[in-house]
Amino acid sequence: MEQIADAEDLAQVLRGASLRVTRPRVALLAAVHDHPHADTDTLIRAVRVALPEVSHQAVYDSLHALTGAGVLRRIQPNGSVARYEARIDDNHHHLVCRSCGAIADVDCAVGDAPCLTAAHDHGFAIEEAEVIYWGRCPTCAATSAPTP
């Protein structure tokens, strides 16, 4: 994922997606870059550091606009609240800790990975595969017994 340097770079991202540049959108985009895989509450708190007066609704509206335009990606592992990331330019996957809920990016499998190729596409034009690997992060694995 390319690094976004400043507010003007973030504004360019919005313009490139044909979105109006607003202070809440710029602050939200910066927050997602700073806090990958963050949930909505975390993002609201982060946006309020830059814009203390921003409403929950403004953040929700911005999330909706940015995900709809493909500027952000919404992920929701089973049992988790929705989370957001700015890494949208590739078909990467995620590792999720069953104990603490930590999420990490993982690049697509390389080599022969038949589970990533649909056995039958049912006429769909497949554009990406979403894979979530479940396990325990290094911290949880070192401090707890295995989960069944």
Residues 70 and 114 grouped into a single domain: no
pLDDT above 70: percentage of residues in the chain: 88
Answer with the one of 75, 99, 127 that is the final residue of a domain.
75
As a whole number of angstroms, the distance between CA 142 and CA 139 comes to 5
Number of Cβ atoms within 10 Å of the Cβ of 52: 7
What is the reported pTM?
Answer: 0.82
Structurally, the chain folds into a number of domains equal to 2
pLDDT of residue 67: 97
Q: List strands edge to edge, sheet with 83-85.
A: 38-39, 83-85, 73-75
Sequence letter at residue 115: C
The pLDDT tens digits for 80-125 are 899 999 998 887 889 999 999 999 998 876 655 546 677 788 988 8
In this prediction, residue 20 has a pLDDT band, given cuts at 50, 70 and 90, of very high
Indicate if 64 and 108 belong to the same structural domain. no
Name the pLDDT band for 1 (thresholds 50, 70, 90). Answer: very low
Residue numbers of the domain that contains 16: 7-75
Q: Within a domain: residue 129?
A: yes
Per-residue model confidence as pLDDT tens digits over 38-56? 999 999 999 999 999 999 9
Query: Of 17, 42, 75, which marks where a domain is finished?
Result: 75
Q: How many CB atoms lie within 10 A of CB 15?
A: 11
